[in-house]
Amino acid sequence: MPNLPQAPKAASRPTLELEHFLPYRLSVLAQLVSESLHDLYAGPFDLTVTQWRVMAALGRFAPLTASDVGHRIVMDKVAVSRAVAGLMKRGLVERATDRADRRRSSLRLSTRGRAMHARIVPLALEYEQKLYAALTPEERQTFNSLSDRLFARAEALRL
Amino acid sequence: MPNLPQAPKAASRPTLELEHFLPYRLSVLAQLVSESLHDLYAGPFDLTVTQWRVMAALGRFAPLTASDVGHRIVMDKVAVSRAVAGLMKRGLVERATDRADRRRSSLRLSTRGRAMHARIVPLALEYEQKLYAALTPEERQTFNSLSDRLFARAEALRL
DNA sequence: CGGAATTAGTTTCAAATGTAACTATTATGC
DNA sequence: GCATAATAGTTACATTTGAAACTAATTCCG
């Protein structure tokens, strides 16, 4: 093939290759991982992702108010309210109205809730380990530090 | 403080620190990025995330059948069907029944659809660039290769 | 003090989504 | 060739989700 001069590419329009597009890739990866994990505890314990996250937050930081939970797990107050309602109905979470400010109430896992939490945590950590097995320890650290920076940037861009 | 021998930690239970838990971190990052991007085109063009992804797939690979689209963007056929219905109603996508196999039909962007696509792509790429600005070029490559490996591993674990 | 604005949390209504059933068409196997 | 199974895509129903309105309690500030 002769090496002809190229015709000038008149303002060639940019193309978007979805499979290499960062927001898309993040979304697909996160969804796959989230669903896989959910499969682990949905069957045995019948929890939604939201409910499990609320339990995880309470298992680690209780007592928390509903808004505290929301901040911890990046979830709006409506979602938290609904998850808590479901968890209370099943006796997994207890609520005590704050005596000083009766608008808020502090939440904590009940005994049953703590027991369930203690059974799920190892499953979750085991899954995480299996996933991390794809990377060396140094690579894990790298990945986490890079994703931290992406996150910070995304927050900054959101205005 | 004297250097006393530690009491043996009797089977100390593992703790889950949500903020360092990989599935959780991926989910929060992906959600933030996805919402930010959606804000860019939702207002001016009134598209859902799904609709935009269908348009992106068709913009790059048309003609495609609905199931082709589904495979490309990792989305089940019901979601694709609904997104396509919405896009057709707005005249952004055209459908032609396959003469050889009348169950399937090939989809492509209409002229209007192509025009809209051409206006959104630069916005999306610009956002991606701003996000990537958090990383050096080498780091971008590293991040992408590591997330590819995590993705492959997650797929393998899903059985 | 006392009315306006804030805050915590819930409820309501509409839109989005998932699962399963359904239609139409094509492929398979006896 | 014909009954059965498989495939493409849509529709229906039930559940989830999100946005906005709402209730109740507290704070702010003239």
Q: Please, which residues have CB within 8 angstroms of residue A16's CB and are 6 or more apart in sequence?
A: B56, B59, B60, B121, B124, B125
Q: What local confidence, expressed as pLDDT, does residue A12 receive? A: 64
Percentage of chain B exceeding pLDDT 70:
91
- Does B145 fall in a domain? yes
pTM of the entire structure? 0.87
Give chain C positions with protein CB within 7 A. Answer: 7-12, 16-20, 24-27
> Domain containing A106: what range?
23-157
Q: What local confidence, expressed as pLDDT, does residue B39 receive? A: 87
Q: What local confidence, expressed as pLDDT, does residue A93 receive? A: 95
- Does B35 fall in a domain? yes
Of B70, B58, B69, B75, nearest to B117 by C-alpha is B58
Q: What local confidence, expressed as pLDDT, does residue B115 receive? A: 95
Residue B2 has pLDDT above 80, yes or no: no
**Which residues from chain A sit within 8 angstroms of residue B152, using beta carbons?**
134
Nearest CA in chain A to B149: A134
**Do A121 and B16 lie within an 8 Å CB cutoff?**
yes
Q: Please, which residues have CB within 8 angstroms of residue B51's CB and are 6 or more apart in sequence?
A: B83, B86, B87
Tell whether the torsion through CA atoms of B54, B55, B58 and B64 is positive or negative.
positive
Residue B4 has pLDDT above 50, yes or no: no
Work out how many domains chain B is built from and give that number: 1
Of B93, B157, B135, nearest to A147 by C-alpha is B135
Q: What local confidence, expressed as pLDDT, does residue A92 receive? A: 95
**Do B128 and A25 lie within an 8 Å CB cutoff?**
no
Render pLDDT for B98-156 as a digit per residue (tens, 0 to 9). 888 999 999 999 999 999 999 999 999 999 999 999 999 999 999 999 999 999 999 88
Stretch B9-37: mean pLDDT: 83
- Does B8 fall in a domain? no
Residue B68 has pLDDT above 50, yes or no: yes
Q: What local confidence, expressed as pLDDT, does residue A4 receive? A: 42
DSSP string covering chain A:
---PPPPP-TTPPP---GGG-HHHHHHHHHHHHHHHHHHHHHHHH---HHHHHHHHHHHHH-SEEHHHHHHHHT--HHHHHHHHHHHHHTTSEEEEE-SS-TT-EEEEE-HHHHHHHHHHHHHHHHHHHHHHTTS-HHHHHHHHHHHHHHHHHHHHHT-
Q: Which two tokens stand for residue B72?
A: 């490309």
Given pLDDT bands bounded at 50, 70 and 90, which one contains residue A2? Answer: very low
Render pLDDT for A30-78 as a digit per residue (tens, 0 to 9). 988 998 898 888 888 999 999 999 999 999 987 999 999 998 888 889 9
- Does B6 fall in a domain? no
- Does A6 fall in a domain? no
| Residues B50, B75 contacting (CB under 8 angstroms) | yes
Stretch A105-123: mean pLDDT: 94
| CATH number assigned to the domain comprising residue B45 | 1.10.10.10
Given pLDDT bands bounded at 50, 70 and 90, which one contains residue A6? Answer: low
Give chain D positions with protein CB within 7 A. Answer: 7-12, 16-20, 24-27
Of A113, A130, A115, nearest to A36 by C-alpha is A130
- Does B16 fall in a domain? no
* Closest nucleotide over all strands to B80 (CA to C1'): D9
Stretch A109-117: mean pLDDT: 95
* Residue A37 to residue A46: CA distance in whole angstroms: 13
What is the DSSP-derived secondary structure letter of residue B74? T
* Closest nucleotide over all strands to A76 (CA to C1'): D18
User: Does any strand C atom come closer than 7 Å to the Cβ of B49?
Assistant: yes
- Does B146 fall in a domain? yes
Residue B76 has pLDDT above 70, yes or no: yes
Distance of CA A7 to the CA centre of its chain: 49
Render pLDDT for A103-112 as a digit per residue (tens, 0 to 9). 999 999 999 9
Find the Å distance, CA of residue B77 to C1' of nucleotide C21. 15
* B23 min Cα distance to partner chain A (Å): 6
- Does A129 fall in a domain? yes
Q: Please, which residues have CB within 8 angstroms of residue A109's CB and are 6 or more apart in sequence?
A: A55, A58, A59, A62, A92, A93, A94, A117
Q: What local confidence, expressed as pLDDT, does residue A89 receive? A: 92
**Which residues from chain B sit within 8 angstroms of residue A59, using beta carbons?**
16
